[in-house]
Structure 1
């Protein structure tokens, strides 16, 4: 057995997924890393690691570690980078195999299913799905032309021939609909209606969600027909790069200490908890947040509203200005969540309809918040 085959078998054994074991043992991940990846070094930033700089054995061992390898940052592929990149915004990667398999398992894929994948990326997850279901069952859409071109070559070299589309995955791919399962490998703020319309009744949509404050959830919805879908969020906290059209805009530079003054008994450090951040985001979906030492700063990109919250004696001093009282809205939604026992995101669900979509707490009849269109 070759070293690559040994490493594939070891990776499959470490992930222990009976449904996806053969695919993990078969698909050569090294093909999907191209000729270079980025490795993050705190003092230098994102440093290109080239295949030609490593021995064949070291490159293979790197490829089969259960890690995410960044392949593009702000549109620059790793093989095209001639120096470290200091911008902390990767735009494409080969996600760690364990998470790829978790996504595929969550989608409830069965033999005979027809799959739409949104976000081809390097093509590794596309190839795994082809290996299990057959190429004819898989359609994958990638927005970025350079990423799509490289993925197409790698998938073909691995021996698969799915339908590959370079275009806007938020529109799905109607030509091959209806599908049984849709899997998104990019995060969205809300579920595109086109996705719901291209999945058969009873089929599923599995997608990571990411809002502008950085709150995440892992949606798994069942399509009910009539352009509707609903389901609970899953228990996993998954972090995926946002779809380009759903990424947050550049954050404005703010002057703190402006606007009306009030006092709060709620500790803003709550928002360093992932679930609390997700909950806060429900009330202020167009806002972004940041920290200036121990001061929380909020800015609403839609209305220009802003707030900052800082320690003051036994409580916190709040400044707010603009039409949306950002911290007031955060306090209200956090209090609702606390009264419900502070459940994880999996205590919430999502319903998508033609006119709107909303997150609910506990049950579809519980408290709810609309997502941005």
Structure 2
């Protein structure tokens, strides 16, 4: 355990920052102070960026204790686990698979959860254990069940719970199944992203209860859904803020390689046209990605980087039939586009973005999600106004 640094940043400095942002509310302040973040951060971490999903170089508590402390008490996410544990500890792996989430996001989601005394909570995605410990302190450990798919990650979290004398029920298992023996719950919260809300989460939450989970389509763009469970087995509600969580392991995307598509090695086999309606750069915006992914659920993107910030954006369909590219270069107002296959994917993207503009460029808060036993649908402004899904 590292000694507390008398200089800011530190627990109280971060608390002041979070209170100023409105993320940490006074009712969660006692739990924040009783469950310090540094207890739930391992000695090796890779600091992220606020609102971003890129990690910096390794920070080792043993060799850089002051830097480690500074990162822990900064409002940033901290990656703690790569490639399901199969990575060189001193280097970044291919894919982050566990983290201590950005404090603003932690407390914003806890606020959205709106817990009340005596509530029973199911958490999916224990990770380092900080979120479950905060809930356990506020509600009583007997009212918190937390599920983690990785046995080693779960064991570390259990050890940290013990350091603070907290004993939430820690379950090793697939989060998609929830934990039926502890049901019904008053609240369900996921600290991992999904593209389909598992039925078990809704079925294990009592009518009138809340499910809070990061949701996003395959294309990208993710937001926190706050769903109220109804008597009819459906759940519905709005998105409350942007998010960027690692995917539930059961719902990780497996995209076909670009080489599997016809004629990608013979660019520009589809013919070149010039467009100024839609910049490739726009399709990297979080709201744009979200809207595009909802309306084109079988489309995903890749980027081929050039020099000086130039790149080629690829749009590809999951059916491995069609692709499109658009070349971006800073300062240009017209872009070369190539389309190949039976679908005109760039044309489809332009249609989606035209829809987005026609509806006033909606942000996440205007979108909502309804989940029923038959499926799920995203809507705009009202549940009776579903967002169109452009299935060929």
Structure 1 segment 131-280 matched on structure 2, within 5 A: 131-234=137-240, 236-250=241-255, 252-254=257-259, 255=264, 256-259=267-270, 264=275, 266-267=277-278, 268-280=280-292
**CA shift digits 1:318-339 (9 cap, x unpaired):** 4333454422332222222211
Counterparts of 2:135 and 2:333, CA distance in 1: 55
8 A Cα contact 1:359 1:370, kept in partner: no
Change (3 A) 1:370 1:173: farther
CA distance in 2, matches of 1:306, 1:200: 44
Aligned partner of residue 220 in structure 1, secondary structure = strand
Structure 1 position 61, deviation (Å): 4.4
- Whether the aligned pair in 2 keeps the contact of 1:40 and 1:47 (CA below 8 Å) is no
CA deviation profile, 1:260-300 (whole Å, cap 9, x unmatched): 76665531332132211111111222322133334321112
Q: Does 1:36 align with 2:48?
A: no
TM-superposition CA deviations, 1:90-113 (whole Å, max 9, x none):
111111222211110011122221
Structure 1 SS opposite 2:243: coil
Q: Deviations over 1:194-215 (max 9, x none)?
A: 1111111111111112332222
Counterparts of 1:105-144 in structure 2, within 5 Å, are 105-144=111-150
What is the root-mean-square deviation of aligned Cα atoms in Å?
Answer: 2.9
Distance in 1 (CA, whole Å) between partners of 2:143 and 2:319 is 41
Contact 1:193 1:227 in 2 (8 A): no
Cα distance change, pair 86–346 in 1 and its aligned pair in 2 (3 A): same
| In 2, Cα distance between equivalents of 1:198 and 1:86 | 35
What is the CA-CA distance between 1:40 and the residue it aligns to? 7.0
Q: How many residues align?
A: 363
Residue 82 of structure 2 corresponds to 73
- In the aligned structure 1, how far is the partner of 2:17 from the partner of 2:48? 25
1:11–1:295 distance in 2 versus 1, CA, 3 Å: closer
Structure 2: which 5+ residue stretches go unaligned? 20-24, 50-54, 305-309
Correspondence 1:349 to 2:374: no
Partner Cα separation in structure 2 for residue 259 and residue 193 of structure 1: 42
Q: How far, CA to CA, are the matches of 2:369 and 2:163 in structure 1?
A: 39
